[in-house]
Amino acid sequence: MNQTVIVTGASSGIGFAVAEAYLQRGYNVVGNARTIERLKQASDKLGNPANFLLVPGDIAQPGTAKALFERAVAAFGKVDILINNAGIFIAKPVADYTEHDLDDLLNTNLKGVFFPSQQAAVHMSANKSGHIINITAGIAMQPNVKVPALLPVLIKGGLNQATRALAIELAASNVKVNAVAPGIIATPMHSQDDATQAFYRTLAPTGQTGVTQDVVNAVLYLTESNFTTGTILPVDGGGSAGTW
């Protein structure tokens, strides 16, 4: 039986690239995005593979996480990997954040990881195997004065610690829990104008920005490793290594 992976935020950017990579390896992929329209567009780009199951819904809602696992099990038997990729990023000075900003970040970046992870912990522990990967942020490991982002640092930094905590909790059940912490990756989330791109390149000592394949490679490594858990793997051109 082919392995099955759930990918949240699968309709674009990193999530789409991760879903595509697993499909190319013959996995069953269960993709989540907020709307079925976005998922259908992603499926069209992928050639409408029969093993790409579309499950729309707000990942901040516990019912969406439950539906993801129920439909995955009904279609494919079990879930082997969860990729908690869905996320938003709002950078601004601390005084400028609004309650709406806070709610949006808590819903997508915190609840959107907790509820699927809760489902995964129960399901994978019963099967005595599985991988959970959280996509966090390099800036949560090393804040940068050039990018004031207290709320993302607060939430993604907490997720980095939670990754370690859950790895320890689920170790006896043979469930591996890790995180990938990207820096600036070329996706639709980021502005593509030349001046902004030039600024982004100053955020890593290598003077580069990344591409989605860089994150895909890290995710694949972690889900193919049986001896790596509780790790936060930065993919950020050295941006989290310190100051330079």
With 80 as the cut, is the pLDDT of residue 190 above it?
A: no
Q: Where are the alpha helices (DSSP H) in 171-211?
A: 194-201
Does 4-235 carry CATH code 3.40.50.720?
A: yes
Mean pLDDT of the region 213-218: 98
Q: How far apart are CA 99 and CA 114, in angstroms?
A: 21
| pLDDT value at residue 220 | 98
User: What would the pLDDT profile of 134-158 be if each residue is shown by its tens digit?
Assistant: 999 999 999 999 999 999 999 999 9
In the block, tokens 């593979």 appear at 49
For residue 61, the model assigns a pLDDT of 98
Strand partners for 85 = none
CA atoms within 13 A on the CB side of 17: 17
Checking if the pLDDT of 67 tops 80, the result is yes
Whether 244 shows a pLDDT value over 90: the answer reads: no
Residue 1 reports pLDDT greater than 80: no
User: Residue 135's closest CA among 154, 104, 112?
Assistant: 112
Q: How far is residue 48's CA from residue 21's CA, in Å, rounded to a whole number?
A: 14
Helix (H/G/I), strand (E/B), else coil: 176: strand
Q: Using pLDDT thresholds of 50, 70 and 90, give the confidence band for residue 192.
A: confident
What is the tens place of the pLDDT at every residue in 160-181?
Answer: 999 999 999 999 999 999 999 9
**The pTM is what?**
0.97
pLDDT at 189: 73
Share of the chain above pLDDT 90, in %: 95
Domain range annotation of the chain: 4-235
Diameter of the chain measured on Cα atoms: 52
Instruction: Give 82-138 pLDDT, tens digit per residue.
Output: 999 999 999 999 999 999 999 999 999 999 999 999 999 999 999 999 999 999 999
What's the pLDDT score for residue 139? 97
In this prediction, residue 187 carries a pLDDT of: 86
For the cut 90, the answer to whether the pLDDT of residue 193 exceeds it is no
How far apart are the C-alpha atoms of 187 and 23, rounded to whole Å? Answer: 20
